[in-house]
Structure 1
Amino acid sequence: MKKTEIAGLFLLAVIGVLAGTYTIHRTSTTEFCLSCHEMEAHGFELKRSAHAVDKDKNPISCVQCHMPPGYGLDYFMVKSYLGVRDAVAHFASDTDNLDRRAMQLVARRFVADANCLACHTDLTRNVKGKPISPEGKKAHDAWLGKDGNARRTCAGCHANMAHLPIFDRRYAVNAGFAAKLPRTAEQ
């Protein structure tokens, strides 16, 4: 190969890396996530949830929960999978009638425990600093491997932390969260 061909390929590679980096960064913003109308309900619920802000009182972004921490291979693989899946849903589905029950089950698989532990460092206390319930302590001890082994993730047990679909508003544990959301004919 000639030097000009090598230089051209190098320049294309640099442009590709820069464009990819910009795209990943831009599509990892909450603003981008909520730019599709089918995500508006999720944003509305997040703003009214206990997880509207992080431990430093900064607004929680979608990627803080739904993407693996860091920008390694895991992040790129999950980002690619979710991006393709969301694009297909957006362009090839009836976005006005998405099955939130099914979406919720899938979304929980993409909430890494490390993301929860970034804010929730003391698993013996609730967010108000009070000791958790005996049932909660037993579950956390099992998750930590102190008293048995738990196979569930944080999101597997703690459902509806930031999003509360209408079908889940009926549970007593969700009553406080549901009170912050508008009533609809579907309830």
Structure 2
Amino acid sequence: MKKKWFIALLLVIGGVVGTGASLITAEVTHSTAGAEFCGSCHSMEPMAKTYELDVHGGQNDHGFVAQCVDCHLPQDSVFGYMLDKTKHGINDVFVENFTNTDNIDWIARRDERERFVFDSGCLNCHQKLLDKNDANNPKSLQTHAHYKAQLEQGDVCHVT
């Protein structure tokens, strides 16, 4: 009988500890997701200024503001999200502390932007983007026509 109570107690304690750890992880993940946190030590001033003026930075009719992680981390699975968040975090801390970030050519790095933006992030918010035939928004159709053609040919990076 004592063995059953001991196992039940272990399960309850494990459940409480697991739930607590999950909640703490979720809170830390959420609080480190936005431009305020990322920009606090990340050498990304040119991108931060551009972001503030962009539709994703809040310059839209709805007041919506995307978080950095909405675009810059894969949104297809929690495991992939957390793995990439960890990898990018370690890399960013290393670069910020051991690299002269003043020597980074941010304009040239724009050619590598597909390595840093995930389609699953775009499609997480814009699920119907590729199926739209919106005559009221021809700019959107024009902007994404090239992307849709690449996707159909399998030429797009980071598709999930």
Relative to the length of structure 1, the TM-score reads: 0.58
Match of 2:103 in 1: 97
Match of 1:27 in 2: 32
Stretches of structure 1 lacking an aligned partner (at least 5 in a row): 156-187
- Is residue 51 of structure 2 the alignment partner of residue 59 of structure 1? no
Q: Percent identity?
A: 24
If asked which structure has higher relative contact order (CA below 8 Å, sep 6+), I would say 1
Task: Please report how far the alpha carbon of residue 36 of structure 1 lies from its aligned counterpart in structure 2 after TM superposition.
Answer: 1.9
Which of these residues, 152, 155, 167, is aligned with residue 156 of structure 2? Answer: 152
Relative to the length of structure 2, the TM-score reads: 0.65
Stretches of structure 2 lacking an aligned partner (at least 5 in a row): 1-5
Question: Residue 93 of structure 2: SS of its match in structure 1?
Answer: helix
Question: Residue 108 of structure 1: SS of its match in structure 2?
Answer: helix
Are the counterparts in 1 of residues 119 and 158 from structure 2 also a CA contact under 8 Å? yes
Which of the pair is proportionally richer in helix? 2
Match of 1:82 in 2: 88
Match of 1:167 in 2: none
- Distance (Å, rounded) in 2 between the aligned partners of 1:141 and 1:61: 24
Question: Structure 1 residues 19 and 144, CA, compared in 2 at 3 Å: closer, same or farther?
Answer: closer
Question: Structure 1 residues 136 and 22, CA, compared in 2 at 3 Å: closer, same or farther?
Answer: closer
RMSD: 3.8
Question: Structure 1 residues 109 and 48, CA, compared in 2 at 3 Å: closer, same or farther?
Answer: same
- Is residue 79 of structure 2 the alignment partner of residue 73 of structure 1? yes
Match of 1:49 in 2: 54
Are the counterparts in 2 of residues 30 and 63 from structure 1 also a CA contact under 8 Å? no
